[in-house]
Structure 1
Amino acid sequence: MNEAEAIEGLLQKRSADKAPLVVMMCGVAGSGKTTFALKLEQKGFVRLSIDEDIWSTHGRFGIDYPEEEYESLKEQSERKLRNELVQLVQAKRHVVVDFSFWQRQRRDDYKQLIEDHGGKWAVIFLKVQPEELRHRLLLRSERMDANAAFTITEEILTRFLNGFETPAGEGEWIVEA
């Protein structure tokens, strides 16, 4: 499906069910997760982003804090946003979680968390070919914002692509670029 169809489907799902809907963005860096999530935010979803939380709390990668602290800050931010997610679901708010969700176990953990607190979930997998990712990441590297906090090199992208656990048979919605 395309992006517009996916957004329309999510809005219908949100309207059809009394339980809050949590959309879990899934994709490699540069796949368009934040762009998609921002569109849902404009439709009334609360957006949670580790990158933006770190940016607003600690500043810029490699400038306001050393690179060595990034993993620790990322873990702290995720714990904070995970607690916020639970509070939002309990308050019957619709949420879009703008994380990578590159590991199946992590996706399963969040699905269970969402269900345990009365929510419904949808996994949106943004499927983008590697050459298109490279092009997008090149453009992104020219920006200075939370979502372009550090440059994704070819080596990092290769590691991301090789380590990514593509959702299959998990109830995912596939959006192709």
Structure 2
Amino acid sequence: MKLGNDTARRPQLIIFCGLPGSGKTTLARQLEQEIGAFRLNIDEWVAALGVDFWDDEFRHRLDRRLYEYGLKLLELGQSIILEDGTWTRAERDELREVARKLGATIEIHYFDLSFDELWRRLALRNATGAPDTVPITKEILEKCWRRFERPNKAELTQFDSSIIHT
């Protein structure tokens, strides 16, 4: 992966919007290789640091720190991928506003899968014990499903580009 300032193009902020099991990490890893963007994933950091996945206070502090780090990378001209789901409209609006101020282009990938498909994928992932992943029960997925603010067409048009994955 090549880091650095590429003055021939503007840095790109790629935001992933989706629930657990939707395929965010799989696609983010592909894009990381294809376009040389720096990928930020909280779950992988938590796993690498050996911290409890459900320590909300630590996750919040780490999230803020990685966000600041990502903004610094954008400021330096490095494209980044934020793959942690951006579940709320306010979160996506803030990211878009800050990235525009930094001169970055903003692309959103919205992962729009049914509850049943998400649960099918998570059950398989839980059974295999994939590394750097949070084990998600059906009850946790139900809570996530209720909290998730899905972007509508009007919101998606506010990004430089939007891709919907079904």
Equivalent residue number for residue 159 of structure 2: none
Find out whether 1:122 has 2:99 as its counterpart: no
What is the aligned length? 152
Equivalent residue number for residue 39 of structure 1: 30
- Counterparts of 1:5-24 in structure 2 under 5 Å? 18-24=9-15
Q: 1:53 Cα shift?
A: 1.5
The one-letter code matched in structure 2 to 1:155 is: E
Equivalent residue number for residue 9 of structure 1: none
Equivalent residue number for residue 73 of structure 1: 58
Equivalent residue number for residue 144 of structure 2: 160
Higher helix share: 1
For residues 36 and 60 of structure 1, the distance between their equivalents in structure 2, rounded to whole angstroms, comes to 25
Find out whether 1:103 has 2:93 as its counterpart: no
Which 4+ runs in 1 deviate beyond 3 A?
A: none
For residues 60 and 73 of structure 1, the distance between their equivalents in structure 2, rounded to whole angstroms, comes to 8
Q: 1:162 Cα shift?
A: 1.4
TM-score (norm 1): 0.80
Find out whether 1:173 has 2:163 as its counterpart: yes
Equivalent residue number for residue 61 of structure 1: 52
Match of 1:145 among 117, 122, 131: 131
Equivalent residue number for residue 135 of structure 1: 120
Q: 1:173 Cα shift?
A: 2.2
Stretches of structure 2 lacking an aligned partner (at least 5 in a row): 1-7, 157-161
Instruction: Say what the alpha-carbon RMSD is for the aligned residues.
Output: 1.8
**Secondary structure of 1:173 counterpart:** strand
Encode CA deviations 1:80-100: one digit per residue, 9 max, x unaligned.
111111111111111111111
The one-letter code matched in structure 2 to 1:165 is: E
For residues 11 and 107 of structure 2, the distance between their equivalents in structure 1, rounded to whole angstroms, comes to 11
Q: 1:133 Cα shift?
A: 0.7
For residues 153 and 166 of structure 1, the distance between their equivalents in structure 2, rounded to whole angstroms, comes to 21
**Secondary structure of 1:167 counterpart:** coil
For residues 47 and 21 of structure 1, the distance between their equivalents in structure 2, rounded to whole angstroms, comes to 12
- Counterparts of 1:77-92 in structure 2 under 5 Å? 77-92=62-77
For residues 91 and 107 of structure 1, the distance between their equivalents in structure 2, rounded to whole angstroms, comes to 21
TM-score (norm 2): 0.84
